[in-house]
Structure 1
Amino acid sequence: MRSLRNWVIITLIAIFTVACNPASPPQSVAPTTPAQSSTAEVKPVGASKVVALTSLSADIIYRLDKNKLVGIPGSRLLRENAEISKITQVSEGQTPPNLEKIIALKPDLVIGATGFHDQILEKLKGLGIKTMTSSITSWQSLEELTKAIATEIQADPTALIQSYQSLISTKATNPKSTLVLVSSQPILAPNKNSWAGDLLTQFQINNAAAELQGQSPMRGYITLSAEKVLEANPQVLILVDVGDGTINKLKETPFWNKLDAVTSDRVYTFDYFGLVNPGSIDAIAKACTKLQEIVKVNA
């Protein structure tokens, strides 16, 4: 049962990683009308009513132009903002978005996650509603998504992009070997092809699993044996709290007290949102602040 529960947790991590995860080009929708096919120059009209199916895209839209956001997903990250929480909620948790609720909002753009909202986006496209997908696996893809959304709603992304860049102003000059663990059974660590792995790269932190490849249910993550963890023997250890007791289970493993990071008291705990799943701009900012602290303390 414990093994089954852990795999359920891993699956949820994979889903959330995709769901808040390079932005693909906006995918469009309504059939071309005679007016649209005219050779006369037509000034593009930005989307004025947007439904976001991920917490991150909702947050980005709200920061760019809060008046354009008419529908949001159910998320504790969004509920932390009293104003955003007043916006119509079209989904909750792992429950598929409510198609009727979305249609009732009469949106001219719906933004979902690649691989997670494909079905409902196809239905919306069939109804002539423009859609767009996102998949955030790197810092660059976060900036690209922000610019793509800004283009769609005709907003200026400059200030928001600059605020992102300010979050990674402090970088490691003497990087210590660092390992991030997000699960205990199996032991999973992000390589460079994940949001977490790329975030470490942005801070020039030496990710011990950056170049490792292997079989894993999560793209950008690799499965490690206890022997591999001991072999890596990181100087800094980052544990991700996914709410399933993973951290306590890792501390009970035979290899735990043999790790340099443990004996030198360089073990840090991060929230799942921000480091594994971007989640929201505030969640990303909190993760970046903690990474900056690690960089400074271990300089």
Structure 2
Amino acid sequence: MRKTSVAAGVIAIALISTACGATKEAAPAARTEAAKQPASTAATSSETRVMTYLGKEYTVPVKAERIVMAGSMESMEDALVLGIKPVGANTVGGKFLEMFASITDKAEPIGEKTQPNLEAILKLKPDIILGSSKFPAEMMEKLGKVKTTLPISHISTDWEANLNALAELTGTQSKAKEAIEKYKKEATAAKEKLSTSLKDKKVLAIRVRTGNITIYPASVFFNPSLYTDLGLQVPEEVKQAKAQQTLSMEKLSEINPDYLFVQFAEDENKEQPKALEDLEKNPIWQSMNAVKNKKVFVNIVDPLTQGGTSYSKITFLEAALPKLSN
């Protein structure tokens, strides 16, 4: 079933020249003392401590109660897994995405994912801000003047570190551990099950954006789930991709996948709302093995899921395994 969402808009950033009560990273002396202890648990005071995330240290509260998720869709998806409700979160087109309804019922909107509103964030008095590794340095600096901000990675292979960081901040480590172990166990079993039947098959995941066919590197989108976790053959075009890459219909037909997973969101194709329909009518599309054998699967998960988060991986595996097993 194809799901839809609201198109992303732009909200101007409210510049704050002085962020009252701005919290800075630990002083050198605190870092030195922290280095004597395990970095992830070293306490700097009765209220704050130093935690390590992807090799860098951050001064954070002992337990974060008021979390603002500014620009990090990865954090939003991890919050679904852990049942964490932020006090503030980014919107898409001025609204919270429907997929996040269970965690945003009491959240305040703090601007679009690409341009968070600093004034709105400041009013919420956050304990911690979860930003995005996609943010430019100047944006991270501005957010850091409001409160300590973690640049949550958008790289799929950092999914465990992302989930564990949120779990550590909120005291939900056991829930994160359980989710990770359950996923890995199920993925391992699926890999063994599919190792013979899909040995020589080409499996590809694409996203249709602005009317174009796009693919991603092996470490991005749903690709780690397909090629690492399930051990499927990596198409050469995916190996060579350095970032999101547009494919022509002719190039896609050269790959000629046996199984094709398609993500299509209407809000990402506002000027070409019938882009997918047009693709499906194209004779070149119809000539591909996946199409001829009815192995094309559209939006088996919400079309705006990030692809490489704990939530994306869990839901994608659950939905994709029956498709790949038949």
Could you tell me the TM-score, scaled by structure 1's length? 0.72
Once the two structures are superposed, residues 61-96 of structure 1 have per-residue CA deviations (whole angstroms, 9 ceiling, x without a partner) of 4654747x3222233145431x532122222465x2
Structure 1 residues 282 and 148: CA distance shift in structure 2, 3 A: closer
- 1:187 corresponds to 2:204: no
In the other structure, the counterpart of 2:240 is 213
Deviations 1:13-55 (A, max 9, x none): xxxxxxxxxxxxxxx9616569947969746333332211234
Aligned match for 2:123, one of 83, 104, 109: 104
Task: Give 1:264's aligned residue.
Answer: 293
Aligned residue number for residue 110 of structure 2: 90
Q: Aligned partner of 1:293: which letter?
A: P
Asked if residue 291 in structure 1 is aligned to residue 285 in structure 2, the reply is no
What is the deviation of 1:211? Answer: 4.4
1:57 match:
75
Q: Distance in 1 between matches of 2:28 and 2:224?
A: 45
Aligned match of 1:80 in 91, 96, 101?
101
| Corresponding residue for residue 160 of structure 1 | 179
Q: Is the 8 A contact 1:189 1:224 kept in 2?
A: yes
Q: Quick one: structure 1 residues 46 and 86, their matched pair in 2 at CA, closer, same or farther if it must change by over 3 Å?
A: closer
For structure 1, the 5+ residue unaligned runs are 1-11, 13-27
Query: SS at 1:181's partner residue?
Result: strand
Q: Are residue 254 (structure 1) and residue 283 (structure 2) matched?
A: yes
The answer to whether the 8 A contact 2:66-2:87 is kept is: yes
Whether contact under 8 Å (2:74, 2:306) holds in the other structure is no
Partner of 2:39: none
Match of 1:178 in 2: 203
Give, as a single letter, the amino acid of the residue that structure 1 aligns with 2:163: T
| Counterpart Cα distance in 1 of 2:28 and 2:260 | 60
Identity of aligned residues (%): 22
- Pair 233,246 (structure 1): closer, same or farther in 2 beyond 3 Å: same
Shift of 1:255: 0.9
Structure 2 SS opposite 1:182: strand
1:125 to 2:132 alignment: no
Aligned residues: 264
Match of 1:151 in 2: 168
Separation (CA, whole Å) in 2 of partners of 1:141 and 1:34: 28
The alpha carbon displacement at 1:278 in A equals 3.5
Q: How far off is 1:125 after superposition?
A: 1.7
1:255 is paired with a residue of what secondary structure?
Answer: helix
CA deviation profile, 1:243-286 (whole Å, cap 9, x unmatched): 23332121132312221222222111125747862497555433
Say if 1:240 and 1:247, in contact at 8 Å, map to a contact too.
Answer: no
Q: Residues of 2 paired with 1:230 and 1:66: CA distance?
A: 43
Cα separation, 1, equivalents of 2:77 and 2:253: 40
> Which amino acid is 2:218 matched to?
K
Deviation at 1:154, TM superposition (A): 4.2
Offset at 1:291? 1.4
Offset at residue 199 of structure 1 (A): 1.9
User: Are the counterparts in 1 of residues 80 and 311 from structure 2 also a CA contact under 8 Å?
Assistant: no
Partner of 2:59: none
Cα 1:275–1:97, aligned 2, differ >3 Å: closer, same or farther?
closer
Confirm or deny: 8 A CA contact 1:190 1:210 kept in the other structure.
no
Matched with 2:16 is: none
* 1:228 alignment partner in structure 2: 251
